[in-house]
């Protein structure tokens, strides 16, 4: 019996965590994107956040950049950790192109929802809404494939959003700093985008299908 090669074992571990090759490089880039504005401090946050009065004057870039700035370094690190965990669960469930469309759909839904449905939200920062979209789209992919964790993920997502909509932020989360509607809008936007990608080639099966 040939002893297992430690290098091959490490590569298999990386692949099982969706951190191998281009996937690992893409994860590193995404984490850097969430942390990139932190050296700019409050000046960067004020210049890049979703801000209703600034948007009204035509500063449309804020609709994108708001999702990459955070309240603090601690907030940015929490969102980055959440991204890593979601990446390990779902990165191969859609092609890279499909994931870009799903995240864009989540971000667009958050921006539209806050502008039209939440006029009292004067400013907003953070990636948690888009990350809820990633969770929603990944859960949908697992449901379609009848993965063992699919219904657990679905119950956790629906339960969390229902709690936030009826009661408010989860315990231990500071009230007044969490825009819970962004989580709802992000999940709905991502689900709509994922539904638009229902062609058989859109989903990547773990058995080895090629990405679109």
Q: Give the pLDDT of residue 201.
A: 47
Question: Residue 188 and residue 113: Cα distance in Å, rounded?
Answer: 10
The residues, ordered by sequence, that sit 6+ positions from 182 with a Cβ below 8 Å of its Cβ are 110, 113, 114, 124, 126, 128, 129, 132
Q: Is residue 209 part of a domain?
A: no
Count of structural domains, the chain: 1
Helix runs in the chain, H state only? 6-16, 21-35, 41-48, 52-56, 62-65, 73-90, 96-117, 128-144, 150-166, 180-195
pLDDT band of 11, cuts 50, 70, 90: confident
Give the CATH number for residue 21.
1.20.1540.10
Cα dihedral 10/12/13/17 (nearest 10): 140
Question: Does 201 reside within a domain?
Answer: no
152 assigned to some structural domain: yes
pTM over 0.85: yes
Within-domain flag for 85: yes
Give the model confidence (pLDDT) of 46-67 as tens digits: 999 999 999 999 999 999 999 9
β-bridge partners, 123: 51
Residue 154 lies in a domain: yes
**Residues in Cβ contact with 54 at an 8 Å cutoff, skipping those fewer than 6 apart:** 62
pLDDT in tens, 107-142: 999 999 999 999 999 999 999 999 999 999 999 999
Residue 103 lies in a domain: yes
For tokens 């500071």, the residue is 174
Phi (first) and psi of residue 110, to 5 degrees: -65, -50
Q: What is the band of 176 on the pLDDT scale with cuts at 50, 70, 90?
A: low
Q: Which domain holds residue 127?
A: 6-195
Kindly tell me the sign of the dihedral angle through the C-alpha atoms of 37, 164, 114, 88.
Answer: positive
Classify residue 31: in a domain, yes or no: yes
Residue 208: pLDDT above 70? no
Residue 1 forms part of a structural domain: no
Band of the pLDDT at 78, cuts 50, 70, 90?
very high
């Amino acid at each position: 019996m040939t002893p297992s090669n430690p290098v091959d074992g490490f590569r298999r571990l990386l692949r099982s965590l969706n951190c191998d090759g281009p996937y690992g490089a893409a994860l590193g880039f995404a984490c850097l994107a969430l942390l990139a504005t932190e050296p700019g401090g409050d000046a960067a946050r004020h210049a890049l956040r979703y801000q209703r009065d600034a948007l009204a004057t035509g500063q449309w870039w804020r609709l994108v950049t708001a999702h990459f700035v955070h309240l603090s370094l601690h907030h940015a690190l929490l969102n980055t950790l959440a991204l890593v965990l979601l990446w390990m669960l779902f990165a191969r469930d859609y092609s890279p192109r499909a994931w870009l469309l799903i995240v864009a759909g989540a971000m667009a839904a958050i921006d539209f929802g806050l502008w039209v449905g939440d006029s009292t939200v004067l400013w907003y920062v953070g990636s948690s809404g888009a990350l809820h979209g990633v969770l929603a789209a990944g859960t949908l992919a697992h449901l379609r494939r009848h993965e063992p964790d699919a219904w657990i993920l679905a119950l956790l997502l629906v339960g969390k959003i229902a709690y936030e909509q009826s009661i408010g932020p989860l315990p231990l989360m500071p009230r007044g700093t969490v825009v819970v509607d962004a989580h709802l809008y992000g999940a709905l936007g991502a689900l709509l985008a994922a539904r638009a990608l229902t062609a058989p080639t859109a989903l990547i099966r773990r058995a080895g299908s090629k990405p679109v």
